[in-house]
Amino acid sequence: MLRILFILAVFVAGPARAGETDTILLIGDSLSAAYGIPADAGWVALLQQRLESEQYPFRLVNASISGDTTAAALARLPRALETHQPGIVILQLGGNDGLRGLSLAELKQNLAAMIDMATSREASCLLLGVHLPPNYGSRYTERFHSIYHELAEETGTPLVASLVDGIGNRSELMQTDGIHPNLQAQPLIVERVWSQLQPMLKPGNQPSGD
């Protein structure tokens, strides 16, 4: 089970001048907070580098907190939206709910509320799912995994089904805790996220920011 070891809210790009860039806000847990690795080597920092190298005018604000649950993230989302006024919101949550055996009905409800809250402010959403270890039992894990697909279909939200599918079962890509991807895995995660994020970056696919 993940433990809340530290709180990370990294701004991986400096403040943008009005009219210069739009903001992507990432609300996540330790999988996005560079747990156990240098912050500048985590997949979120690498994603900012990808945006810059391909000349997309977006600044990425990483408001991920290790150990965060969907309930905690839902509580802090209004302030984050008000502060950063993002054009795109990336939600990477649920792992801690699952690892703690919390209510899956509440997991889905919380994620749905966050999607609704973001879209009501004219932000586009991208949902990032995770996979649980098989020792949590097939009934629980299958229902857990299905929630992300249901939300994507019900809300029309683009989905990366899992950040760690095909990574979590490879020891050479995982830290010793068996939960968090290591340095070598971070570029693989970027590619996975980029495949769904890039279409959202094109003109007309996200709010103008006016």
53 is catalytic: no
Q: Which of 30, 32, 64, 124 is catalytic?
A: 30
64 is catalytic: no
Q: Which of 40, 146, 149, 177 is catalytic?
A: 177
With a CB cutoff of 8 Å and minimum separation 6, the contacts of 135 are none
Distance CA 39, CA 126 (A): 22
195 is catalytic: no
DSSP string computed for 27-44: EE-TTTTTTTS-GGGSHH
Which residues are annotated as catalytic? 30, 177, 180
